[in-house]
Structure 1
C-alpha cells in the first residue's frame, strides 16, 4: 500500500513515486481496459491518471485519438517517449493536470479511469462526476477500481474503504433515462506477490453508456 508524507501535494507525491526508478510499471495496458474496449469502434478517448502511458499507447494502437492526463511531468515524459517509440505519438496528446484542481476540456467517446486511487487526499467522486460530464452522447465511462487489498496484505488498515460499483454509481447521480449500465462486476485478478508468490486481488468494473438521446 502506498503512503504519502503528511502535507504532501499530489504533484510532490507522484513525482517522488515515478522518480524513484527509471520505470515503475510493466508497460502493459490494464487487462480490464483491453477486455472492455477491444470490441468498441475507435473514436476519441480521455485517459485519466495515465501514468507511464501504457493504456493510452494501447488505445492509440487500436485507432483511438487519445488525450492522456497525469499530474506527474516525469510520468508524462516517459509516456511520450514510449509513444514515439511505438509509432503512435501523433495520436496522443499528453496533458499535465492535477485533477483535484483542473480537468481537460472537451467531450470524448470513451473516458477511462483505471484505478484512480491516491494516498494523497483527492476528491475522487467529484473527479468521476466531471469524467461523466465529459462523455459524448453514445460514449462510455469506464471506471476500474480496487475492491480490496491483495491477498498477501494481511495487515492492511481495516478502516481503509474501497468504493463499490454501487457507491460509485450513486455518487455520480446520473439520470437513469440518460445512461445505461453495461457492466457492473467484481473480478478477481491474478497477481504476483512481492516474494514471487501467486496472489489475487478483487477489482470492480463499472462501464456506463450515455444514451445518444441524452440531454
Structure 2
C-alpha cells in the first residue's frame, strides 16, 4: 500500500511539474522566424534562384525585392510578409511612418502563390519541414513561365498532381522546385510539430531534468 501511495504521489508531482513548466520556445512559437526562400531546381534553368516579390506574386528570375516571410501559427499557419517588404523594388520602400500590417500569401484557384493586403483570404496550413516550405504537408512546388514581357516565373503549388504541365497556365512546361528556408539555423515549424500539448511539455521537462 505504501508503495502504491508513493507511485501515485510521484505521478502527481511529475504531472504538476509538467503543467507548471514554462513552454519551450523552440517547440512552441506563435510566429516563426522571418526567412527568405531559395528555389532549388535540378536542371540548368535556375539551379538555385532567390524567390522575389513583385508586389503581387512570388516570382523567380525577376528584378524585384527579395521575399522575406514568416508563418503565423496564431492565424492558422498563414504565410505573410513584414510591412517593409510589401512594395516592389520599382516603388518607394519607405515605411518608417506606416503602421505594422500583414500582406498574406494566397494559393489561388490556379494554385499560384499570390498575395493580398488583407488576411481574410489568407491560405492556411503553411509550414516548414527539414528547412523546406510546405503547404498542406507537401513541399512540391512548380515554377511556371510568365508569358508577359518580364520573362519571369510564377510559383505554383503542385500538391498531389504528378504532371507539372497540368499546373502551369496554357499547358506550359513547369519546373519542379523545392523552396528552401534561409534562416540562421535549421527550422521545423508546422501545425504537426508546433503544438502546446501536455505530452510535449512532459518530454521537454524530462529533457531539462536530464540536462540538469
Question: TM-score normalized by structure 2?
Answer: 0.29
- For the pair shown, the structure with the greater C-alpha radius of gyration is 2
Higher relative contact order (CA 8 A, sep 6+): 2
Q: What TM-score does the superposition give when structure 1 sets the normalisation length?
A: 0.29
- Larger fraction in helix: 1
